[in-house]
């Protein structure tokens, strides 16, 4: 019997440490690493699915080429030769900017970034900017603090109040739950603020069902109550903050009752919530859904301001934890991504179709897709498909024939995390990192992305790339030089270990921030427009929230769902009664972007005139992004999935 230490490569808060056991008869078992302070010996449903994905009969095990609309298997030599020739012809005829690399975070291994290093060696190729996930919030916390840092989960035991704002760890961050429960047993107030009464709300001592997009209104109302009641921490504000005078000047001009009306809460509830937050030290734990709006950055910045007003920054049991990019300072991202171009063309991710069909119509001749499934994950699916089909040459690297792969010209099969060594770390929550062990050799005829791009580089005679990026060990040692120097370890010394960097136990404890002024920066309220989402509904009277499911990371686990099975959309029973629709009916949801069929189900957890659907369904099952808009947030170029308004149409019998 052999045991290996690896980690979960999914783009998840937890980045769990995994122990894999292989018996003498080659049976494989996985479980959470009991020695790990976060994993604590258990894995979520998504983590347990790694074995199913590893051994799935649906895995692609040969390079595939589309010929007259049909897929045929080809050898690697043919695939490399033909793809390299296509790349060469595109660059020679149209220039490097006519190539587009679309990479996402479907796998969080450091070696997977070899795609960017390869394409940057070809010249100024086109790459995406902005975010589908968390961009507005990252930009907001950079404005306020200088960077996004989070308190470790163990510090929650020092909080008297924990505010979980727009986050559902029961579904998306399960290893946070034991820390919340321990804090609750310790006497902490557990407050959940969310438009949906999620499973996490059942753990709370207090739950507040806010309206979507009203998070900034609520933060401002709480700030007014705190300042008007003289509960703010004047010394912290005057010593460690910048911009407060202007913030307070414009805050005084806002009407408290009008702010509260926008939240959907009663005045008594807002006052109660404010008193709970004033029971310090108080920690705020933010989710990503509340920044997926046109005002997404503003929402986060106004919540950050609550922590500054009350002095809950740089103290044990406090903070505003949104993301944790502490470990990034020890990774040489410039080298890893081969960043060398000053005028590289970029496009905003959520505006992919506009870039392809309008801004650079007929100019993008080739596209590579790695670590992602943009046909499913980008908003406004109908337009995304149209744009994707407009590009003449497309190659996807994946384990499965995703919707994106199926619409490509070539598909190259890649390895699973258990079939390779890699470096994994979380930039979302904790400060642990892992150098994973290879558990099994790669499945026959499958290659790692690193090998794929090195081989393509050989075919294209990219000698400089091969010199600097041709060897996996050298690549990791150079990219992790600062980390290895800081820990005193070698790359091999990291193998099979999970470690955590020190120095971020209490973010901003020194009160020296990473902003230009070295102080916390209050948001300017001078030009803030406090509009309500309902103003833009017109005839589409239901706001649709598309949340992350418990059983899948986006679309990665839904490949085996049969065609004709539709997603469930949850709706308040009173709303269903008003519109004359029965729970269990198949209905049509319609937005300005498209239509999908879904099964409607009554749920008391969903507020009136609000719809909830879990994202990740494939096109054959009516993916939710047929409905979502393709706008961007105020800062951070964030997709605004939750700013989506729909009609419910009864289907003709």
Q: What DSSP string describes 496-525?
A: T-EEE-SS-SSTTTT---SSTTSSEEPPP-
The arithmetic mean of pLDDT across residues 105-134, rounded, is: 93
* Position 508 in a domain: no
What angle, rounded to 10 degrees, do the helices at 449-459 and 114-122 form?
20
- Structure token pair of residue 612: 């909830």
- Counting residues of the chain whose pLDDT is more than 90, the rounded percentage is 80
- Check whether residue 144 and residue 188 sit in a common domain: yes
Residue 25 pLDDT exceeds 80? yes
User: Last residue of a domain, which of 288, 322, 356?
Assistant: 322
Task: Indicate whether 101 belongs to any domain.
Answer: yes
Q: Which of 13, 35, 55 is the last residue of a domain?
A: 55
552, pLDDT greater than 90: no
Same-domain check for residues 391 and 429: yes
Q: What is the C-alpha to C-alpha distance for residues 379 and 639, in angstroms, rounded to an integer?
A: 8
Q: How many CB atoms lie within 10 A of CB 252?
A: 10
Q: Which domain holds residue 21?
A: 2-55
Q: Are 205 and 189 in contact (CB under 8 A)?
A: yes
Q: Tell me, yes or no, whether 521 lies in a domain.
A: no
Q: Is the pLDDT of residue 563 over 90?
A: no
Alpha-carbon Rg for the chain in angstroms? 25
User: What CATH code is carried by the domain that includes residue 563?
Assistant: 2.40.40.20
Q: Are residues 126 and 161 in the same domain?
A: no
Residues 40 and 143 in one domain: no
Mean pLDDT, rounded, for 512-524: 97
pLDDT digits (tens, 9 = 90+) for 3-12: 998 999 988 8
548 shares its domain with 633: yes
Same domain membership, residue 109 and residue 24: no
Q: What are the tokens at 108?
A: 């969080």
Place of tokens 């009407």: 255
Which CATH number fits the domain that encloses residue 406?
3.40.50.740
- Cβ–Cβ < 8 Å for 284, 319: yes
Please tell me whether residues 100 and 231 are part of one structural domain. Answer: no
pLDDT tens-digit readout, 43-68: 988 889 999 999 999 999 999 999 99
Number of separate domains in the chain: 4
Residues 600 and 489 in one domain: no
Helix, strand, coil percentages, rounded to 5, for the chain: 35, 20, 45
Q: What pLDDT score was predicted for residue 470?
A: 95
- Return the structure tokens found at 139: 């930009």
Q: For 638-653, write each residue's pLDDT tens digit.
A: 999 999 999 999 987 6
Distance CA 114, CA 117 (A): 5
Same domain, 85 and 174: no
Best CA proximity match to 321, nearest among 553, 147, 531: 147
């Amino acid at each position: 019997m052999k045991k290996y230490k690896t980690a979960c490569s999914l783009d998840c808060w937890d980045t769990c440490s995994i122990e894999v056991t292989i018996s003498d008869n080659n049976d494989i078992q996985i479980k959470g690493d009991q020695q790990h302070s976060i994993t604590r010996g258990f894995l979520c449903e998504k983590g347990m699915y790694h074995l199913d994905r590893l051994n799935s009969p649906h895995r692609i095990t040969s390079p595939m080429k589309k010929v007259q609309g049909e897929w045929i298997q080809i050898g690697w030599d043919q695939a490399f030769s033909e793809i390299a020739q296509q790349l060469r012809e595109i660059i020679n005829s149209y220039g490097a900017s006519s190539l587009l690399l679309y990479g996402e975070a479907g796998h969080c291994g450091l070696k997977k970034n070899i795609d960017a290093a390869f394409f940057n060696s070809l010249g100024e190729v086109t790459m995406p900017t902005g975010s589908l996930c968390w961009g507005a919030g990252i930009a907001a916390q950079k404005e306020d603090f200088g960077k996004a840092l989070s308190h470790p989960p163990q510090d929650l035991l020092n909080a008297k109040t924990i505010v979980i704002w727009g986050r559902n760890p029961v579904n998306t961050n399960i290893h946070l739950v034991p820390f919340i429960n321990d804090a609750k047993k310790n006497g902490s107030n557990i407050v959940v603020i969310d438009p949906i009464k999620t499973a996490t709300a059942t753990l709370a001592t207090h739950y507040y069902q806010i309206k979507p997009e009203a998070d900034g209104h609520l933060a401002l109302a709480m700030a007014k109550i705190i300042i008007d009641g003289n509960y703010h921490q004047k010394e912290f504000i005057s010593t460690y903050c910048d911009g407060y005078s202007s913030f307070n000047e414009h805050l005084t001009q806002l009407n408290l009752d009008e702010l509260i009306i926008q939240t959907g809460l009663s005045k008594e509830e807002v006052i109660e919530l404010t008193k709970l937050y004033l029971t310090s030290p108080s920690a705020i734990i933010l989710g990503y859904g509340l920044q997926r709006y046109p005002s997404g950055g503003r929402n986060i910045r106004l919540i950050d301001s609550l922590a500054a007003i009350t002095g809950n920054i740089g103290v044990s049991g406090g903070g505003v934890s949104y993301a944790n990019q502490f470990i990034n300072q020890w990774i040489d991202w410039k080298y890893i991504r081969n960043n060398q171009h000053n005028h590289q063309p970029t496009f905003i991710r959520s505006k992919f179709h506009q870039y392809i069909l309008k801004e650079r119509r007929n100019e993008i001749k080739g596209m590579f897709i790695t670590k992602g499934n943009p046909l499913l994950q980008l908003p406004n699916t109908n337009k995304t498909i149209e744009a994707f089909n407009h590009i003449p040459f497309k190659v996807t690297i994946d384990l499965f024939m995703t919707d994106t792969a199926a619409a490509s010209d070539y598909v190259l099969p890649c390895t699973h995390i258990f079939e390779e060594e890699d470096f994994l770390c979380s930039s979302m929550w904790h400060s642990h990192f892992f150098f994973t062990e290879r558990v099994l050799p790669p499945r026959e005829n499958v290659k790692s992305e690193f090998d794929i791009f090195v081989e393509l580089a050989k075919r294209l005679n990219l000698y400089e790339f091969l010199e600097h990026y041709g060897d996996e060990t050298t690549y990791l040692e150079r990219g992790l030089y600062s980390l290895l120097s800081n820990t005193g370890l070698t790359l091999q010394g990291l193998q099979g270990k999970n470690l955590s960097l020190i120095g971020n136990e209490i973010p901003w404890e020194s009160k020296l921030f990473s902003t230009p002024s070295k102080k916390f920066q209050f948001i300017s309220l001078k030009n803030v427009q406090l509009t309500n989402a309902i103003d833009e509904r017109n005839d589409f009277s239901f706001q649709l929230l598309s949340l992350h499911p418990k059983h899948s990371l986006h679309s990665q686990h839904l490949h085996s769902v049969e065609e004709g099975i539709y997603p469930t959309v949850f709706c308040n029973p009173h709303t269903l009664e008003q519109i004359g629709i029965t729970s269990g009916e198949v209905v049509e949801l319609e937005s300005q972007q498209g239509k999908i069929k879904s099964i409607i189900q009554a749920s008391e957890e969903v507020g009136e005139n609000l719809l909830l659907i879990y994202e990740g369904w494939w096109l054959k099952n009516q993916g939710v992004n047929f409905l979502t808009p393709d706008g961007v947030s105020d800062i951070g170029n964030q997709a605004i999935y939750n700013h989506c308004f729909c009609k419910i149409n009864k289907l003709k019998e």
